Amino acid sequence: MANTKNIFSYEIKPLHFCKGFFVFLFIFWAQLSQAQFFDSIETSLTYKPTLDLKFESRNSFFSNEWALIRGIRAGANYNDVFKVGVGYSWLAKEIQHTITVHGENKNADYFFHYGTAYAEYTFYDVKPFSMTIFASVGGGRSWDRYIDNNGERQTANSSFVFVYEPYMTGMVDVLKYFKVGGGMGFRLAASGNKFSRQKLNTLIYVFKFQVEISKILDDTVRR
């Protein structure tokens, strides 16, 4: 079993990470420190909630590798200002790397699936533009899949992964039910898998494509 020190250690480029990290924190906490932030959320909670249901596809970096993450979110939407709920995300395309199995190097595919609880606050919304602060926390599983010497597919290095992911995004409405945008944040992960720690703990640049499923339902099924 991996000890606590190994679970929370990771390898990153300190200068690159710190520069982006502190720029992000400056913007992030500038918004959170304003009384308007709390007043706005408190006011939004007085409204009757509607369904927040979205399918999203976002590109981000896993350390220095480009990765596509897909997910679905379901929760409560309070006046399009504050949203809270749960989600499930996964790596849309596995990451290839090399692992050691019984002293032999093997080409392997890395997989990562995880569930989260999320909260989202929209602090600017003048159509077609919006800006949000998003944070999610949760956990899931990562594993490697490789082909053994008998030509059979095997699984190795399966491990639980704890993930905390806050970021800020700017979005633009495209047509009625679609949004595109981008933003920046960071990802903190704890895992017994060394490769997960190396790849998941990083500053992230997010490029998103979002489908507003709840709005489609409102205009079709529920009409």
120-149 residue pLDDT tens: 999 888 989 999 989 999 999 999 999 999
Q: What is the pTM of this model?
A: 0.77
Read off the pLDDT of each residue in 52-81 and give the average, rounded to a whole number.
Answer: 84
Of the candidates 187, 197, 202, the residue with the CA atom closest to the CA atom of residue 157: 197
Any idea what the CATH number is for the domain that residue 162 is in? 2.40.160.20
Domain holding 24, by residue range, is 4-219
Q: Which two tokens stand for residue 143?
A: 């594993």
Instruction: Round the average pLDDT of the chain to a whole number and report it.
Output: 82
Least confident of 56-65, 103-112, 211-220: 56-65
Q: Bridge-partner residues for 172, per DSSP? A: 129, 180
Q: Bridge-partner residues for 197, per DSSP? A: none
Helix, strand or coil, per DSSP, at residue 33: coil
| Number of continuous H segments (helices) and E segments (strands) in the chain | 5, 9
Q: Bridge-partner residues for 112, per DSSP? A: 142
CA distance 60 to 119: 19
CA distance 138 to 73: 13
At residue 192, φ and ψ (nearest 5 deg) are: -80, -10
Q: Bridge-partner residues for 105, per DSSP? A: 100
Residue 92 has pLDDT above 70, yes or no: yes
Helix, strand or coil, per DSSP, at residue 29: helix
Q: pLDDT (tens digit, 9 = 90+) per residue, 94-125? A: 888 999 998 899 999 999 999 999 999 998 88
Q: Which two tokens stand for residue 207?
A: 């490029």
Domain total of the chain: 1
